[in-house]
Chain A
Amino acid sequence: MIFIQDFIEFEYLKRTVLAILLASVACGVIGSYVVARRQSYLIGAVSHSLLGGIGLARYLQIAHGLTWFSTIIGALLAALLSAVAISTLTLKNRMRQDTVLSAVWTLGVAVGISFIAITPGYSEDLTSYLFGSILLVSPEDLVVMALMTIVIAVTVWLFRNRFLALCFNEETLYLRGVSTAAVSFILHLLVALTVVLLAQVVGIVLVLVLLVIPAATAAHFAKRMAMVMLWGTVFCLFFCYGGLVVSYQADWPVGATIVELAVATYLVCACTVAVRRKLGKPHEDGE
């Protein structure tokens, strides 16, 4: 198979495989909280705001020679800023949530386009940011991704009880004297990191799908949070490696293939569960 041969020969594919592993761990873990808490609306706003950070990064690299300011760092900055903005502006209903999300979303895209316009040189092709560039992971990018995944994993390990209570019922956590605002804020920051990681794989436009589908698929049969996270990670690895290999052989776009595989699997799983439920209950009693 071409992929295996190329994998052995080319360094960049090894980095791709490793990058996917890091992104999948974050996806399984954080995706589980997002699905349990039913807060996937955040993700569109955060992911599109990345464009602002990416535009800034390219501008600083090209117009001001700051070569260390890579696009992943720009994306990270934008993601964290939007998470902070969304958290603080929606606290205690200070501002309406849909207004804040729309503003963050569109401002990010607008800022990105503006920076790209004032960056000297040829007009930047946005495709790799919009649809993923997992085949173009540099060694420096990989280090940043590894650090982000470690931060996510360690933070979740330390705060897992609070995150679980928060997702189950905020009032429960609040009445135990814990600041739900603080716990929620930290979780939003971790979601922002995960969005950046997954945007490397499937791009800004498709991040939302990849973040929720693996955990949502796992949630069909996994009954405890740790199991949802484990299977969420496994599914994400399956979608990414599967999509990578198939698209590599067929010369299709990687990000899109990954997402197609993810959605197809989710639908099969959801249908199977629904059919099983119907077969298991011949008489529907109103409960």
Chain B
Amino acid sequence: MDTPPIISIQHLCFSYDAREILHDVNLDIAEGMFAAMVGPNGGGKTTLLKLILGLLAPKHGTISVFGDTPALARRRIGYVPQAILFDPNFPASALDIVLMGRVERHFFGGYRKADRDIAMRRLHDVALEDFANHPFAELSGGQRQRVLIAQALVSEPQLILLDEPAANLDQENATVLFNLLGELNRHVTILLVSHNLSLVSKYVSHVICVNQTVDMHRIQDVQGVTDDPTGWIRLVHQQCPVINGKKSDEQIHPHHH
């Protein structure tokens, strides 16, 4: 390995009270990857994102991001959550929301012209530059999602995490988004959670199956994407815990704590 992995997770376990969500997770995300996490609901995909961001702490095991703890690494990460709670009447324009991605750069005072220029360019990237001064609360759900994506990009991150970014987007906008992510992937590492592998499979370099434990595959090893209702894929690698949506019995790891 020439460069150390951007994200390095070793023997990680996490549980919410008594329920163990993740067990003995080992995962290395290398620089330049475009990886999609897939798996059933409750399998731990969003939890894994939150652990990488340091919003949650592992019960066992280690996680390092850019060689640091998640808390120290988070300024280099852009994060687009699946949904955020906000006041439907919040008095801010789309540009105001995007600029928040640069809030930590100046201790005192307002945003500089450079900040605004970058923010406008990111709004252009998500095809919303004409809505810069539009009230955020008056945008449609899909438009708001794109503003939040621009907010994640405006901090010029080295790693972007997205949780179901295409969930509220129509086919056309989803394609625009993934083309954008594909472009960004030239100099930014991307990790996203998706329910729709047939959509993302055209763009990603790796697929990570998450169902209490984790298995990563290169996209070329994936034996074709079926259109069945569950959306799960059949993989060459038979050890994958995500097969037809059921957890494979071979994956019962001995408890190590």
Known contacts A158-B109, A178-B103: does B86 contact A169 (CB below 8 Å)? yes
When distances are taken between beta carbons in the complex, the residues of chain B under 8 Å from A224 are 91-93, 96, 135
Known contacts A168-B97, A169-B84: does B103 contact A223 (CB below 8 Å)? no
Q: Contact at B100–A223, with CB atoms within 8 Å?
A: no
- Is A164 positioned at the interface, with any CB of B under 8 Å from its CB? yes
Q: Contact at B110–A164, with CB atoms within 8 Å?
A: no
Q: Contact at B91–A177, with CB atoms within 8 Å?
A: no
Known contacts A168-B100, A175-B74: does B91 contact A223 (CB below 8 Å)? yes
Smallest Cβ-Cβ distance to A162: which chain B residue: B103
Binding stretch for chain A, among B13-21, B75-83, B218-226: B75-83
When distances are taken between beta carbons in the complex, the residues of chain B under 8 Å from A167 are 90
- Least CB distance from B76 to A in Å reads 9
Q: Contact at B53–A175, with CB atoms within 8 Å?
A: yes
Smallest Cβ-Cβ distance to A223: which chain B residue: B135
Q: Contact at B85–A169, with CB atoms within 8 Å?
A: yes
Q: Contact at B92–A168, with CB atoms within 8 Å?
A: yes
Residues of chain B at interface, number, CB under 8 A: 32
Taken residue by residue from 84 to 122, chain B's Cβ proximity to chain A (1 for < 8 Å, 0 otherwise) reads as 111101111100110111011010111100000000000
Smallest Cβ-Cβ distance to B95: which chain A residue: A224
When distances are taken between beta carbons in the complex, the residues of chain B under 8 Å from A227 are 91
- Least CB distance from B52 to A in Å reads 11
When distances are taken between beta carbons in the complex, the residues of chain B under 8 Å from A176 are 74-75, 100-101, 103-104, 155
When distances are taken between beta carbons in the complex, the residues of chain B under 8 Å from A161 are 99-100, 103, 106, 109-111
Q: Interface SS of chain A: helix, strand, loop or mixed?
A: helix
Known contacts A36-B91, A224-B92, A227-B91: does B104 contact A177 (CB below 8 Å)? yes
- Is A225 positioned at the interface, with any CB of B under 8 Å from its CB? yes
Q: Please measure, in the bound complex, the distance between the C-alpha atom of A167 and the C-alpha atom of B86, giving whole angstroms.
A: 9
* Choice from A168, A177, A178 contacting B90 with Cβ under 8 Å: A168
List B11-51 residues whose CB lies under 8 Å from chain A: none
When distances are taken between beta carbons in the complex, the residues of chain B under 8 Å from A160 are 110
Q: Contact at B90–A171, with CB atoms within 8 Å?
A: no
- Is A81 positioned at the interface, with any CB of B under 8 Å from its CB? no
11 contacts between A and B (CB under 8 A): A157-B109, A158-B109, A164-B92, A164-B100, A173-B103, A176-B74, A176-B100, A177-B75, A219-B89, A223-B91, A228-B91
Show the binding face of B for A, using Cβ within 8 Å.
53, 55, 71, 74-75, 77, 79, 81, 84-87, 89-93, 96-97, 99-101, 103-104, 106, 108-111, 135, 151, 155
